[in-house]
Amino acid sequence: MTFLDTSEAPSGFLDSPQARALLVRVIRVAFPHAQLPDTAYEKTAAALIALAEKTPRHFLALSSGLASLDTLPAGAFLDLNATDATARLRAIERTEFFGFVRANTVLTLYNLPEVWEALGYEGASFDKGGYLTRGFNDLDWLPEPRIEEYTGELNYVEIGPLTRQVGTGTAPAASAATRDEVTK
pLDDT at 166 over 80: no
* pLDDT one-digit tens code per residue, 69-96: 877 666 689 999 999 999 999 999 999 9
**Number of residues written out for the chain:** 184
> Which of 21-30, 119-128, 156-165, 169-178 is predicted most confidently?
21-30
CA nearest to 71, candidates 9, 117, 120:
9
Taking the alpha carbons at both ends of the chain, their separation in whole angstroms is: 74
Average pLDDT, the chain: 82
pLDDT at 149 over 60: yes
If pLDDT is split at 50, 70 and 90, which confidence band does 3 have? very low
Q: How far is CA 8 from the centre of its chain?
A: 29
Rounded mean pLDDT of 98-111?
97
Q: Report which of residues 182 and 102 the model is more confident about.
A: 102
Please name the residues in contact with 46: beta carbons below 8 A apart, sequence gap of 6 or more: 20
User: Count of alpha carbons within 13 Å of 98, Cβ hemisphere only?
Assistant: 15
Q: Residue 179: what pLDDT?
A: 56
Q: Residue 173: what pLDDT?
A: 60
What single string gives the DSSP state of each residue in 90-113? Answer: HHTTTSHHHHHHHHHHHHHHTT-H
Q: Residue 124: what pLDDT?
A: 80
